[in-house]
Amino acid sequence: MEIINKRLTLHEFRDYIKGYYFGSLPANKLVIHHTWRPTRESWQGEQTIAGLKNYYEGKGWKVGSHLFIADDGIWLFTPMQKNGIHAGSLNLRSIGIEVVGNYNVEKWSGETKTNALGAIKVLMERLGLTENDLFFHRDVSSKSCPGWAITKEWLFKELTVFRLKPRIPTADSASLEALSAPTPVSPPSDSDEMVFIPVPAWAQEAVDFVVTHRLFKITSSEDIRDAVKFYRFYLLIRQTHG
């Protein structure tokens, strides 16, 4: 069994699927599972992934689920352009998402919840899926999977209010060169709430100023550069006029 065996943060996952090739017949549905075992407490990242791979290989499977979502991140397992084995009649053209833990009594919480909702939301957006394309394993099985505590009513409500937190700016983006670099043209996004613009440290003060004074909306790196120009001009004028 070939697995990707890579752990991504939610932001990294979003970037990863942006340019990901989902195959000539991309997945047209998501199937949500819980692992039941391993539990959230017994999850040990790479070690557990290796154990799961062994388990599937023992069944003679060449593929398994596509993603394992835990407190420590989003684990890439079977490549998403391949049909996996995870939900019987729903295996074809679906992405199998395993939320690590047992959710028969408790709902998702903490980082697991953030990672699960975030991954589902960005995948739905990337693949153009609606709530009707979101399945639970128990829709086609007598199991409780993804756990009795998880209902579609709850999940849909959570997805509606979910917002991706802005990415924390990294030190290496703090370069003045970026100020004069050409802005890559990106197509306008159809859902504003999912847009996040990483603000480099050197532009933070200017962006805060523009946002606080509601001068204009920051929706692109072009806006960030405008904010810096505007803020410098403002400081200059303030200086000159004492």
User: Which stretches of the chain bind Zn ion, using CB under 5 A?
Assistant: 33, 137, 145
Least separation in angstroms between residue 35's CB and Zn ion is 8
Rg (CA), the chain: 21
Least separation in angstroms between residue 104's CB and Zn ion is 12
Least separation in angstroms between residue 102's CB and Zn ion is 12
Least separation in angstroms between residue 137's CB and Zn ion is 3
Question: From the CB of residue 46, how many other CB atoms can be counted at a distance below 10 Å?
Answer: 12
CA distance 100 to 108: 9
Closer of 14 and 137 to Zn ion (Cβ): 137
Least separation in angstroms between residue 64's CB and Zn ion is 11
- CA–chain centroid gap for 87, Å, is 22
Closer of 112 and 221 to Zn ion (Cβ): 112
Closer of 85 and 179 to Zn ion (Cβ): 85
Closest CA to 85 of 99, 67, 64: 64
Closer of 66 and 137 to Zn ion (Cβ): 137
CB 8 within 8 A of CB 76: yes
**Is the four-CA dihedral 76, 78, 83, 88 of positive or negative sign?**
negative
Least separation in angstroms between residue 110's CB and Zn ion is 21
Closer of 55 and 196 to Zn ion (Cβ): 55
* Proportion of the chain in helix, strand, coil states, percent, rounded to 5: 40, 10, 50
DSSP label at residue 131? G
Closer of 152 and 217 to Zn ion (Cβ): 152
Closest CA to 26 of 15, 35, 17, 34: 17
Omega cis (within 30) before 79: no
